[in-house]
Amino acid sequence: MPELDGRIALVTGGSRGIGAAICAELGAAGATVVVNYVRDESAAAAVSARVRDAGGRTEAVQGDVSTAEGAAALVSRVESEVGPIDILVNNAGITRDDLIMRLSEDDWRMVIDTNLGGAFFTCRALSRPMLKRRAGAIVNISSIVGVHGNAGQTNYAASKAGLIGLTKSLAKELGGRGIRVNAIAPGYIATELTDALPEEARTAILGNTPLGRLGEPDDVARAVRFLVSDAAGFITGDVLAVDGGLGI
């Protein structure tokens, strides 16, 4: 029997890239997967179809987690229409890169509100139901940039570093009720964002990655599947680097 059979998983930002791979992986593990999206309904529908084709159960649900109201409405809708959420994956994220001397306040706030605020608002909205049920698994998708920093990404790095602090604090706060909270710090993953990298930057990244390749979204998705499963039942507050050794 698939290890997540009977569980309901909410994946924010699930309509593309790493989020889409996570939805497919959790569906293959037996979970009912809620594919959250903000604007691209057709992309979310395509991810849902991918989950169904693999034999999984799924729903696509619109919701903007970058606001407290949007996150609370999303959690409430899923809990009432789909069922109690057992697994939360905070994957929603954006980039607005620039050197700090040119970085606008709007680009700073937008990245912080989406990447860090979205995870905070969603965790806060779901904390009470999970505490009542005395069970749950949360995975926050951080980044190796949140561990080591990166020039031209002060807003993104700050948001992803904040996710690590959020993860560790929530692990201490919620662990007594059986709720586990972990983070994953992906390295450079082959998605639309890395497709836009100049060849010189791509060559430099590969040269600094011991495994000598970019990661695939499935590499991150398999790590998420492990962390939310019972096989990781004694793991909480951890940050798992899925980076090909880039952070060594």
Query: For residue 176, what is the DSSP state?
Result: G
Contact 58, 51 (CB under 8 A): yes
37 an active-site residue? no
| 236 alpha carbon, distance to own chain's centre | 16
The DSSP bridge partners found for residue 138 are 88, 181
Q: Can you tell me whether residue 189 is helix, strand or coil?
A: strand
Please classify residue 124 by burial: count the beta carbons closer than 10 Å to its beta carbon, then call 0-12 exposed, 13-18 middle and 19+ buried. middle
Given 156, 232, 240, 246, the catalytic residue: 156
Q: Identify which of 127, 137, 145, 150 has the alpha carbon closest to the alpha carbon of residue 223.
A: 137
Element (H, E) at 184: strand 179-186
- The C-alpha atoms of residue 15 and residue 36 are separated, in whole angstroms, by 7
Q: Identify which of 162, 144, 188, 167 has the alpha carbon closest to the alpha carbon of residue 108.
A: 162
Active-site residues, by number, are 156
